[in-house]
Homo-oligomer: A and B are copies of this chain.
Amino acid sequence: MKVATFIEPGHMTVTDAPVPTIQKDTDAIIKIVRACVCGSDLWWFRGISPRESGSFGGHEAIGIVQEVGSAVTSVQPGDFVIAPFTHGCGYCAACKAGFDGNCMNMESGGNAGYQGEYLRFTNAQWALVKVPGQPSDYTDEQLNSLLALSDVMATGYHAAKSAEVKEGDTVVVVGDGAVGLCGVIGARLLGASRIIAMSRHADRQALAREFGATDIVEERGDEAIARVMELTDGAGADAVLECVGTEQSIDTAVAICRPGAVMGRVGVPHKPEMDTNSLFWKNIGLRGGIASVTTYDRDRLLDAVLNDEIHPGKVFNQRFSLDDIQSAYEAMDTRAAIKSLVIVTE
């Protein structure tokens, strides 16, 4: 089978690999229909974090169940599924508390190569999200929105949930990448009445507004802080979604919190050391981490896509064939694409 493979920083290619097979009774083999490239993949694509040469790429996909292990009864061959990047067992304390991204029974091995023709998916019984019907029942845009439920939309929603957005809140979203834009959708779903999106790119600003942003702040750093304080009559935001992870974005997020506000962060922190006094003396909360994809998809997001309430698939503004995987990464790397779609099976 064909699968996207990392050669060295800046270089992805498609290699031929054996089709994966069931290794554990909780596995499923998924025939991938669509996959995509994640902003977090740029870390190793750019050589900032290490990655083994020859490893397979991707962690987001939709596809068709090809085969299941003997313990998997929730889906069967032929089912259309979302393949989340998370693999919750559904019964540990973390999964039960709604944090399946931190499942305490994570299965090692498997889950390599969502950007490929077939995938061995672990903990398939609970973690896979079944979609009614078949891919052919959906429009191109709907397929993209379903694909977004494998990570980016759930991650944006996690930022909003972590920031404890509630009805009537004034929310600031820091970051106009695909996750930040999905954070805008998440904040709207949770009832925010005002959503201030930080963005300086016209296409992303337009999408943010389409997703529910009421205000755009183009400034950065101290000027961005001043602008948000002006927009909130000096109070700061009730909730802040930090969807970048750089030191500057985190500092900005803290500074624009109203006393007692919670910052929900989903951007992998580039600089984990933080002076938490800035939080303590203003009672600012810091929450967030890995999204609970299966929990959120089942609770709310899948229905919201199926009911045409949300359209997160619009973040895919460039599409590529699997054979052209290098261009899909490059488009993300240069920020030409908000998010690169990878068509695996037409």
Binding site for B on A (CB under 8 A): 92-94, 97-99, 101-102, 104, 162, 232-236, 238, 258-262, 265, 268-269, 272-277, 279-290
Contacts and interface: CB of A to CB of B under 8 A. Distances in A.
A282 B288 CA distance: 9
A86 to B, nearest CB: 11
Given A269-B277, A273-B275, A279-B289, 5 more contacts: A92-B235, A97-B260, A262-B285, A262-B287, A282-B289
Given A275-B272, A288-B283, A289-B280, A260 B104 contact: no
A156 to B, nearest CB: 15
A243 to B, nearest CB: 13
Contacts of A269: 276-277, 280
A276 B277 contact: no
Contacts of A285: 162, 262, 285-287
Contacts of A262: 285, 287
A279 to B, nearest CB: 7
A286 B261 CA distance: 12
Contacts of A238: 97
Contact of A279 (B99, B259, B286): B286
A277 B287 contact: no
A93 B273 contact: no
18 contacts: A93-B236, A94-B235, A94-B258, A97-B238, A97-B259, A102-B259, A102-B260, A102-B283, A265-B280, A269-B277, A269-B280, A273-B273, A279-B286, A279-B289, A282-B289, A283-B287, A283-B288, A285-B285
A277 B273 CA distance: 8
A185 B177 CA distance: 44
A166 to B, nearest CB: 11
A290 B283 contact: yes
B258 A97 contact: yes
A232 B104 CA distance: 14
A30 to B, nearest CB: 26
B276 A286 contact: yes
A234 B238 CA distance: 35
Q: When A and B form their complex, which 10 residue pairs have the shortest distance between CB atoms, in order from nearest? A: A102-B259, A93-B235, A99-B260, A283-B289, A272-B277, A285-B287, A94-B259, A286-B286, A99-B259, A280-B289
A278 to B, nearest CB: 8
Contacts of A290: 281, 283
A238 B93 CA distance: 9
Which of A236, A265, A277, A280 neighbours the largest number of chain B CB atoms within 10 Å of its CB?
A280
Nearest to A284: B289
